[in-house]
Amino acid sequence: MAWYRNHYQCARCDAEWTDDWSCMCDDDCPFCGARHMSPHHNDDLTHVTERRADRFVVLRSMESAEETPDYELVANFPSRKLAEAFLKATLTASPNTSA
């Protein structure tokens, strides 16, 4: 399932916040309560690369994810460069499907 970190700025009080969701949806301002603020940009967190011990792992948000991304391990590599190259090649080869 797609996963996003949405970035918001309140039109009423100018506060900024982020929220992670499975879609790019409107949110209510946690500071003043203004309703239906749309994200001004987002980070796609469906696939991520992170360091674990001496390896770099590629993770994917599972289709069954609901309230959290519920990542599953896709692959692991000895360097971040190799992990990110794998991820880029996988997404480029099939941009409309899960890697």
50 within some domain: yes
Tell me, yes or no, whether 9 and 33 share the same domain. Answer: yes
Tell me, yes or no, whether 37 and 52 share the same domain. Answer: no
The reported pTM is: 0.77
Instruction: Kindly report, residue by residue over 27-67, the tens digit of the pLDDT.
Output: 999 999 999 999 999 999 999 999 999 999 999 998 888 88
Tell me, yes or no, whether 53 and 85 share the same domain. Answer: yes
> 19: helix, coil or strand?
strand
98 within some domain: no
Domain count within the chain? 2
99 within some domain: no
Phi first, then psi, for residue 91 (nearest 5°) are -70, -35
- Tell me, what's the pLDDT at 98? 45
Query: 9-35: buried (b, 16+ CB within 10 Å) or exposed (e) per residue?
Result: ebeeeeeeeeeebbeeeebebeeeeee
Tell me, yes or no, whether 85 and 71 share the same domain. Answer: yes
β-strand partners of 33: none
Domain that holds residue 55: 46-93
Tell me, yes or no, whether 88 and 66 share the same domain. Answer: yes
Tell me, yes or no, whether 87 and 53 share the same domain. Answer: yes
